Structure 1
Amino acid sequence: MQRQEMSSIQTDLDEAPKTLKFRNKIGYMIGDVGNNFLFDMGQLYLLKYFTDQLGLNSAVAGTIFLVAKIWDAFMDISVGTWIDNRTNIGKRGKFRPFMLWAAIPLALLLIANFTMPDFSVTGKLVWAYVAYMLFGTVYSISNVPFGSMITAMTKNSQERSELASYRQAGSNFGLMMATIAFMPIVTALPNEKVGYTVAVVIFAIAGVLCQWFAYANTKEVYQSAPKPKFSKEEIKESYKALFKNKPLITVSIVNLFTFSAFNLKLAVQVYYCQYVIKDLTAESLLGFFSIGMVFVSVFLTPFLTRKFDKKIVYMLGCAIWAIGDILGFFLASNTFMLVLLTSVAYLGNGFTSALNWALVSDCVEYGEWKTGIRSEGLVYSFFTYFRKLSQALAGFIPGVVLALVGYVPNQAQTATALMGIRELMFFYSATLALVTIVVMWKLYPLTEKRYKNIMGELLAKKSTGAVMATAAINKN
């Protein structure tokens, strides 16, 4: 009997069992389509809506993003703590119910951000701050459980990479549809301000339906038992454990770089198309070809991670990204070259985006191995805390830079303003992609071999604990 138990443990050491069905992967993918239908509208178009439709100063509008996203970052941590310490976990699971219940409030708040009443400038600012901060709060309640759920769906490293790739495919499809379809809907209506509202209502409804589809087609295979009671001291220990998790800290820092670069690029490209190459149709072409290229990297990621460590594939993506953007700064002076070189950059970005969620899931296991504390929600929310900070930068920096270089909405721009837009579009992201390569190489400690050893030790401890518990019961 002991030999059989050891054999079973050894099998687990080599690789955790596969638990995902195809519909689970598709369901999780569609969930992130919904996330992006609900989220990307603000990240892509809200700054331009504030500056060009509401007449807000670009620096003031950028500050709305800064304040709201810093608020969101703290909300992520709060939601993560709440999720980890829930005591009323029902048959729907620990994470899935949030997709069901948060979808409609999130959609309504998104619409509120693009339906500004005819207030004074002060009234518009108050509405913008309150609506966007409330939206971010509800998005945290929806998204933190969604991202944390990977650890409950599978413990198999390869399946986590695949699930992360499916999620990124969904994210990119949602983003692609947002860039292809949103502005054509806006400009098709005689009043652009109304066009923004109509477009966002369409995407909000689609986002809710996607979230509900994900809820119906995902499953929490590994459900943690609810904690009967938690103390402030236990919460403090959970927070302390985060700072002993070197892989998590490293991934969070590089995400501050890469995600701010990615989101800033998305926010600026509509300005680049309108004022630098004077072709607004290029925005839709970017959505189709450039973001479509991310699907290529998402497709390739599982194959590459079978041969190389996730860390190596991540750095490779950053290198491709940097090359595309450096060339873009010098050569993207027309629609063809802009789409071509931005496609190269997004191909590289796709590798980093596809791997982020798999890396964070690995960090959960590392944290449990290192400290004995398992906290999926807190780990994920710590990671998204940095993503929200990156989104704050992505909204704030363009607003400030556009103000400094003398941007004037709906007018011919000066040479200084055009150079500022060009530098925001390409140099910011290229520089941070290169910095990410250095940080990952120097600081990220997890290889596939080490991860499997860590999982083996965790499984062995749990198996030993189960054997001891069974022996104690039999003895009694």
Structure 2
Amino acid sequence: MNQHLTWREKISYGVADMGFNFYWTNIATFLLIYYTDVFGISAAAAASMMFTIKLLNAFTDPLIGAIADRTSTRWGKFRPYLVWLPLPLACAAVLTYTTPNLSDDGKILWAYGSYLCMMVCYTCINIPYNALSGVLSADAQERSTLNGLRFIFAFAGGTLVTAATPWLVHQLGDGNDKLGWQLTMLAWSVLACTLFVLTFFNTRERIAPPAGQRTSVRRDLYDLSHNRPWIALFFLALIIMITVTLRTSSAAYYFKYVVERPDLMAGFVPAYMLAAAAGAALTPVLTRFIDKKKLLILLMTITSLLSTAFFFVQKDQIWLMFALQIGMGLALGPKSPLAFSMYADTADYNEWRTGRRATAMTFAAATFSQKLGTAIAVAVIGGIFTRLGYVANAAQTAVSQAGIVWLMSLIPAAFALLAVAVMFTYNLDNHKLLQIQSDLQARQS
């Protein structure tokens, strides 16, 4: 069960997260400004729609997790989803970035339908993929390495998307932004499908639930609700996703309306992604010397301080904007591999405590919190923009500009501090995990 994974399998698992970020980073960075400045609906309507869909989609996560846990094929429980659903996801994504010739109400209905389809298809692949990391190996350090490598690819994918998407829209659309966005998403979707299939063919599931396990979805949810370390991670994921989404979704507005240099977006978000990839690469090294809980507390404290410093940056201090952005990337880079490695640990803890294992449900309920966090962040942005009188493609008032600055600095800084407080409730340290793995191996033998 603690078998060490080959580099081929680790890399093959990791590249799929690059594919997921061809979608996720586009959604987090560009979808809101696409809806307001290209698709042609108001910021309030777009934010309300994205919040509603994220909320609805979040509640599908436990259902999909339950289905994945009960899937049984000759290829395993989770791997088959990487070949069953990439094509439906690609079609839904292209439709989401298609601008139909409809009335305002018709466009809103189109946005609701296409975005909902894309997010459900995304979830149906992403949750089994997340759960796959928990059944490739039971070794805690192997999981840290696996997830560290995975998020290197994730941040590399995000860097590629943020750097190349504006250029692709311009090149493929040849001056027609509506066509450009549609063809750009088609290109990203084809690449993502290829990476998902590669992961399917080069990974193997090794950890199965205890023999004869019979549980209901209600029992799985009950177990999670009494799993203290998982509850801490649930709220941590929620808060961190709010922190990150506030900044990534506001960045395009910040450079367009505050700095008045929208061209800098092509380097600003990639700078964060590259720094985050470096931070993710350091995760296995850091976890050899620092307990995961203590490391997350330290990283989120640094994030809060750097985000606060961003409030005092002047619009002509470009170098300082990038320096702080790189610093936050280094600090936040390890949080994703750490969190996903810790989710797998809580699945082991649940089996150790109850004798039952629901790996996909553990990860699904976690992604529920991430999507809920994204929804809350988008709602906050939309609410602030509406209250401060944001008008698309027009000069913003001083009050509106100030709101954008707060969204890039003090508001996410406050949420980062809240994440620090949450981590103090997490109660799985390295010593406890070694005891759990030893006991589980003894039971199986």
- Normalised to the residue count of structure 1, the TM-score between the two structures is 0.90
- Kindly state the Cα deviation for residue 227 of structure 1 after the two structures are TM-superposed: 6.7
Q: Kindly report which structure 2 residues correspond to 1:217-228, keeping only aligned pairs within 5 A, or say none.
A: 217-224=202-209
> Which residue is 2:397 aligned to?
414
CA distance in 1: counterparts of 2:160 and 2:417, whole angstroms:
29
1:250 to 232, 250, 263: 232
Q: Is the CA contact (8 Å cut-off) linking 1:19 and 1:221 kept in structure 2?
A: no
Q: In the alignment, is residue 307 of structure 1 matched against residue 292 of structure 2?
A: no
CA distance in 2: counterparts of 1:350 and 1:429, whole angstroms:
16
Q: Deviations over 1:119-143 (max 9, x none)?
A: 1111111111111111111111101
Counterpart of 2:85 in 1: which secondary structure? Answer: helix
Aligned residue identity for 1:349: L
CA distance in 2: counterparts of 1:95 and 1:385, whole angstroms:
18
CA distance in 1: counterparts of 2:376 and 2:207, whole angstroms:
36
> Which residue is 2:101 aligned to?
118
Q: Deviations over 1:227-284 (max 9, x none)?
A: 79x57xx332222111111111100101101012112211110111111111122111
> Which residue is 1:31 aligned to?
16
> Which residue is 2:70 aligned to?
85
Q: In the alignment, is residue 329 of structure 1 matched against residue 311 of structure 2?
A: yes
1:377 to 338, 354, 360: 360
Q: Kindly report which structure 2 residues correspond to 1:274-293, keeping only aligned pairs within 5 A, or say none.
A: 274-293=256-275
- Kindly state the Cα deviation for residue 368 of structure 1 after the two structures are TM-superposed: 1.1
> Which residue is 1:272 aligned to?
254
- Kindly state the Cα deviation for residue 364 of structure 1 after the two structures are TM-superposed: 0.2
2:32 to 47, 50, 59: 47
CA distance in 2: counterparts of 1:54 and 1:355, whole angstroms:
37
Identical pairs, percent: 28
CA distance in 1: counterparts of 2:429 and 2:220, whole angstroms:
25
Q: Is the CA contact (8 Å cut-off) linking 2:210 and 2:356 kept in structure 1?
A: no
Q: In the alignment, is residue 262 of structure 1 matched against residue 244 of structure 2?
A: yes
CA distance in 2: counterparts of 1:193 and 1:226, whole angstroms:
53
5+ residue gaps, structure 2: none
CA distance in 2: counterparts of 1:172 and 1:429, whole angstroms:
20
Q: Is the CA contact (8 Å cut-off) linking 1:321 and 1:347 kept in structure 2?
A: no
| Cα RMSD after superposing both structures | 1.6
Counterpart of 1:91 in 2: which secondary structure? Answer: coil
Counterpart of 2:148 in 1: which secondary structure? Answer: helix
Moved more, 445-454 or 51-60: 51-60
Flag the 1:54–1:227 CA change in 2: closer, same or farther, 3 A: farther
1:391 to 374, 385, 395: 374
1:449 to 406, 415, 431: 431
5+ residue gaps, structure 1: 1-15, 464-476
- Kindly state the Cα deviation for residue 372 of structure 1 after the two structures are TM-superposed: 1.8
Matched positions, count: 442
Q: In the alignment, is residue 108 of structure 1 matched against residue 91 of structure 2?
A: yes
Q: Is the CA contact (8 Å cut-off) linking 2:135 and 2:208 kept in structure 1?
A: yes
CA distance in 1: counterparts of 2:43 and 2:362, whole angstroms:
34
Q: Is the CA contact (8 Å cut-off) linking 2:248 and 2:269 kept in structure 1?
A: no
Q: Is the CA contact (8 Å cut-off) linking 1:94 and 1:223 kept in structure 2?
A: no
Q: Which has the larger radius of gyration?
A: 1
Counterpart of 1:220 in 2: which secondary structure? Answer: coil
Q: In the alignment, is residue 356 of structure 1 matched against residue 339 of structure 2?
A: yes
Q: Is the CA contact (8 Å cut-off) linking 1:319 and 1:348 kept in structure 2?
A: no
Q: Deviations over 1:135-157 (max 9, x none)?
A: 11111110110000112100000
